[in-house]
Amino acid sequence: MDEFYMKMALDLAKKGKGFTAPNPLVGAVIVKNGKVIGQGYHEEFGQAHAEVNAIASASECVSGATLYVTLEPCSHVGKTPPCSDLVVDKKIRRVVIGMGDPNPLVAGKGIERLRNKGILVSIGVLEKEIAQLNEAFIKYIVTKEPFVVMKSAMSLDGKIATVTGESQWISDAAARKRVHNLRHELSGIMVGIDTIIKDDPQLTARIPNGKNPIRIVVDSQLRIPLASVVLSQQDKAKTIVATTNRASSEKIATLTKMGIEVIVTSQRDNRVDLRELMKKLGAKGIDSILLEGGATLNFSALKEGIVDKVHVYLSPKIIGGKDAKTIVEGEGISSLENAFQLKRLNPVMVGEDILIEGYLDK
């Protein structure tokens, strides 16, 4: 029964996707005498936590009940009071926790506080599933750097466009809808300057009630056209332009006056230092990024080790052309033993396409 109720809490946690960052996705269920009497989830950053919402929704007194919560109740004061204190005050008898707090500074303190007050505590129920749901939060809370998902769509023969540059659309409507949902769920979306110059994209999540990610343009020499959609439509989403000291100070000033934030990094191979950029974006609270860069930026991101997860949509099309673009180019690797290796692969049918998910072997 613990797994049954924890699955309910996990499903509740998923409702907060896109709204809680940089906080985790958390769900909670309260059970008394074999009946669910309260449910809640963390709905939005800065608002009440899952345990608070579940207790507030309870149809009867929660004294003596069992609380199922996907993540260890917090024990410190943040934007809200400690949830562990509320659990104690409400005289909940038992707490079942999906996984402990991954923050090394506070991990286990919530559990310790509950046990010291005589509350029965069980931990590790559906831990693997909960950790995957919160993979961005876990990396961010430990490293203070964003979790990066590299997304591409290609034909069966590995092309992302025809020899003339036509790329709309390699993937079908179902895949594109899924990508827009991912844009909503992650904090930022990052592309290279060539994508901006060629396609002039909006880089928004075009779904009902969707949250638009922060747009990040990697532009080493600050070539971005001032009329670009990502610059002119700041009412839809914030845009950050990452550049180097090779950029024109006059153009930096112009962009700043337009309300665009410009981040200047050191140079690495005459390009933006992506590792330094991740640290600076993490310091701004950006916990996750969807990398929809072109082939050159994709290679740089893989080479610099900033990519955590890969989403590749494989379309049942054959395009051909020795000069047609592929998903990763750059200088490439010289030996197969140095290839970027994926692990924990998960193929999923999405419409007519196959989505291949995998994690970089670091």
Is 183 annotated as a binding-site member? yes
Asked if residue 22 has a cis previous peptide bond (ω within 30° of 0), the answer is yes
Is 124 annotated as a binding-site member? no
CA 177, 294, 356, 346 dihedral sign is: negative
Is 203 annotated as a binding-site member? yes
Is 297 annotated as a binding-site member? yes
- Polymer length in residues for the chain: 362
Is 346 annotated as a binding-site member? no
Is 84 annotated as a binding-site member? no
Is 169 annotated as a binding-site member? yes
- C-alpha–C-alpha distance, residues 266 and 273, integer Å: 6
- C-alpha–C-alpha distance, residues 339 and 332, integer Å: 9
Is 308 annotated as a binding-site member? no
Among 35, 32, 34, 54, which Cα is nearest to 43's? 54
Residue 9, φ and ψ in degrees, nearest 5: -65, -40
Is 296 annotated as a binding-site member? yes
Among 261, 262, 271, 266, which Cα is nearest to 298's? 271
> Across the beta sheet with 120-123, what order do the strands follow?
35-41, 27-32, 66-71, 94-99, 120-123
Is 199 annotated as a binding-site member? yes
Among 221, 251, 215, 255, which Cα is nearest to 236's? 215
Is 250 annotated as a binding-site member? no
Written as six digits, the tokens of 177 are 């809808």
Other Cβ atoms less than 10 A from the Cβ of 271: the count is: 19
Is 9 annotated as a binding-site member? no
Is 220 annotated as a binding-site member? yes
Is residue 329 part of the annotated active site? The answer reads no
Active-site choice (3, 43, 44, 51): 51
Q: Which residues are annotated as a binding site?
A: 49, 74, 83, 153, 167, 169, 183, 195, 199, 203, 206, 220, 292, 294-300
Q: Which residues are annotated as a binding site for Zn(2+)?
A: 49, 74, 83
Q: Which residues are annotated as a binding site for NADP(+)?
A: 153, 169, 195, 199, 220, 294-300
Residue positions annotated with a catalytic role = 51
